[in-house]
Copies of this chain bind each other. A is one copy, B any other.
Amino acid sequence: MGQTGRIFMSGLDRSLIADLPAFAGMTGEALDLVLQGARSTRHAKNSDIFAEGGIADHFFLLLSGHVRVVRTTPEGEQMIARYINEGELFGIAIAMGLAVYPASAVAAVDCVVLTWPNSEWQKLQETVPGFGAAAYRTIGGRLQETQNRVMEMSTEQVEQRVAHALLRLVNQAGRKTENGVEIDFPISRQDIAEMTGTTLHTVSRLLSAWESEGVVASGRQKVTVTDPHRLMLIAERRAGR
């Protein structure tokens, strides 16, 4: 934990980013140029990478791990806006013309992150063909996702919302095991509640019920979907009950 936020490397290897969509089709030299402006940092599990309301002077790319993006209401209630997966840009307030971060980013597990100062944004846009477009596709995609979520919350019951959330999690961060697909990072009932606008109690009840039906298998901060098809039926409100 002492190394949180500390630079652990100065010469970054171009292979780190060569396969990412944001830097698609770039030559090795151009990749080195991109990395020249970046730092790489480690962040211990549960530590903040940036905080809601803080000056947004950097932007980030997740090299490894999983990041939780969290917003807090004035009354102190939290909600999880999204999870960031490996290879994704995040904290790109600069692309939205924001001076402060609108949410906090917390390492869900130990993470490795590339960090650029905002001053590099312009440079990347100019030197990396398609970088700007990729960034804006990222934002556009998140706007879409977020609107889907509003629609879910408007039209679906809690059970459907939780089922949809789990399906999204296993699709984006699933790891195949012998029993099914497991969500690749520690996630509590409370976390799932904050993603779906409900309480940990209700989530616990749902998971218990699903477990007894053989749809999921779950443990402490761990969820495995054993019958995705069945879960989809539940999400679509067509589960035989």
Contact = CB atoms under 8 A, between A and B. Distances in A.
A153 interface: yes
Contacts of A137: 96-97
Main secondary structure of the interface of A (DSSP, over half): helix
A144 interface: yes
B197 A154 contact: yes
In the complex, the count of this chain's copies comes to: 2
Contacts of A95: 136, 140
Interface residues of A, number: 31
A71 interface: yes
Interface string A144-166: 10110111011100000000000
Given A75-B155, A95-B136, A139-B143, 12 more contacts: A71-B147, A73-B151, A77-B155, A79-B151, A81-B147, A97-B136, A97-B141, A98-B140, A98-B144, A142-B143, A146-B147, A150-B153
Interface of A: 71, 73, 75, 77, 79, 81, 95-98, 102-103, 133, 136-137, 139-144, 146-147, 149-151, 153-155, 194, 197
